[in-house]
Each structure stands twice: as structure tokens, then as C-alpha cells.
């Protein structure tokens, strides 16, 4: 055997289900957007027809103004109704999409989390690699946490002059005949 992990068919099925679910949500959103656009076009056509009819039927300016106000009120009411429908549709699609996404990810996670059949490593290099990783893990687990900079005098001298509490002038360099720059 080659030592490669065998991917179960359930994972492929979960991936395909996830992709198809997201595509169906996208297509549903596009379909509803097209339906709302069709309603907006119908609203605009009705408003233009209403104004044209009002202009043809009016014999004086006051009658034309009253007819145009009626068309404008209808246009505004239709627009508000379309906005409400659009918002409720968006909220419904968002909640359905998030619920579908949650279910699809849960299915995908359960397909991924199952026990996958693994072949035993047959390569000596792979055995050495696994042994090395095991030693690193055990060393990391056994190493106690040691905080740095606790104020111990031995830590100050071990850390060097950068972390020392003494000023640089008392380091002894100037007493040995060194020159100061500055």
C-alpha cells in the first residue's frame, strides 16, 4: 500500500450537497430579484400610461394636476409595497440561507469527522517523521511554563545589560578607559 488516506464517499457527497445548496440559494435570490424588477417595470409603465391618459383626458390644468397627483400617489404606494416585499424577501432568504448553510456545514463536518481508514506508514522516512513529531509533542507537553522577568537578580544578569536595572554608565566600560560618544 502507498500509505495515503482514503477519503470516504460521504465527504464527496457532503461537498457536492454544500455547493448545490449554495447555488440554489443564489439562483433563488436571482429569481426573486428578477421578479421584483419585473414588478418595478410594470409600476413604471402603469405610471407613464396614467400620466398619458390624464394628459389626453384633461381639458384644463387643474384636472391634469389632480390626475397626475393620483398617479403619483399610486406610484408611491406601489413603490412602498415593493420595498416592503423586497425587504421581507431579503430577510427570509437570509435566514433560509444561514439555516441551509448551518445544516450543510454540519453535514460536511460529520462527514469529515468520521473515522477515515488510514493505511499504516510503510516508508521508513514516514516512521521517522511520526517518531520525531511524537517526541516534539511529548517535549512540549512536559516543558513547564516559566514566566520571564520576575525580578530575580540572577535573571537580570543572565539577560544581559539590556534588561539590567543598572544605568549604562555603571557598566564598567567607562572605568576601563573607553571613550563616550556624544
Question: How do residues 85-122 score in pLDDT, each as one tens digit?
Answer: 999 998 998 888 888 888 877 777 777 765 544 555 56
96-114 burial code (b ≥16 CB/10 A, e <16): ebeeeeeebeebbeebeee
Mean pLDDT of the chain: 76
What is the arithmetic mean of pLDDT over 161-170? 51
| pLDDT at position 168 | 53
* N-terminal to C-terminal alpha carbon distance within the chain: 72
Q: Which residue has the higher pLDDT, 37 or 160?
A: 37
What is the C-alpha to C-alpha distance for residues 50 and 68, in angstroms, rounded to an integer?
A: 8
Alpha helices in the chain (DSSP H): 9-57, 61-113, 124-142, 153-159
Q: Residue 18 — pLDDT band, cuts 50, 70, 90?
A: confident
| pLDDT at position 13 | 82
| pLDDT at position 93 | 87
Lowest-confidence range among 26-35, 63-72, 150-159?
150-159
| pLDDT at position 149 | 52
What is the arithmetic mean of pLDDT over 52-65? 90
Model pTM above 0.75: no
What is the arithmetic mean of pLDDT over 135-159? 60
- Taking 50 as the threshold, does the pLDDT of residue 157 lie above it? no
Q: Which cell is 18 given?
A: 454544500
- Taking 70 as the threshold, does the pLDDT of residue 72 lie above it? yes
Q: How far is CA 55 from CA 6, 51, 118, 128, 142, in A?
A: 76, 6, 81, 91, 90
Amino acid at each position: 500500500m502507498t500509505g495515503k488516506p482514503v477519503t470516504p464517499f460521504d465527504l464527496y457527497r457532503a461537498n457536492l450537497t454544500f455547493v448545490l445548496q449554495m447555488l440554489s440559494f443564489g439562483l433563488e435570490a436571482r429569481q426573486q430579484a428578477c421578479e421584483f424588477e419585473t414588478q418595478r417595470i410594470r409600476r413604471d409603465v402603469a405610471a407613464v400610461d396614467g400620466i398619458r391618459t390624464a394628459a389626453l383626458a384633461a381639458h384644463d390644468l387643474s384636472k391634469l394636476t389632480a390626475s397626475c397627483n393620483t398617479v403619483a400617489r399610486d406610484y408611491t404606494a406601489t413603490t412602498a409595497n415593493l420595498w416592503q416585499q423586497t425587504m421581507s424577501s431579503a430577510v427570509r432568504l437570509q435566514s433560509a440561507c444561514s439555516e441551509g448553510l448551518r445544516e450543510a456545514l454540519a453535514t460536511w463536518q460529520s462527514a469529515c469527522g468520521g473515522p477515515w481508514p488510514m493505511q499504516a506508514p510503510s516508508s521508513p522516512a514516514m516512521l521517522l517523521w511520526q517518531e520525531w513529531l511524537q517526541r516534539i509533542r511529548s517535549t512540549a507537553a512536559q516543558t513547564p511554563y516559566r514566566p520571564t522577568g520576575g525580578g530575580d537578580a540572577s535573571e537580570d544578569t543572565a539577560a544581559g545589560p539590556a534588561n539590567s536595572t543598572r544605568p549604562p554608565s555603571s557598566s564598567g566600560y567607562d572605568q576601563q578607559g573607553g571613550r563616550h560618544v556624544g
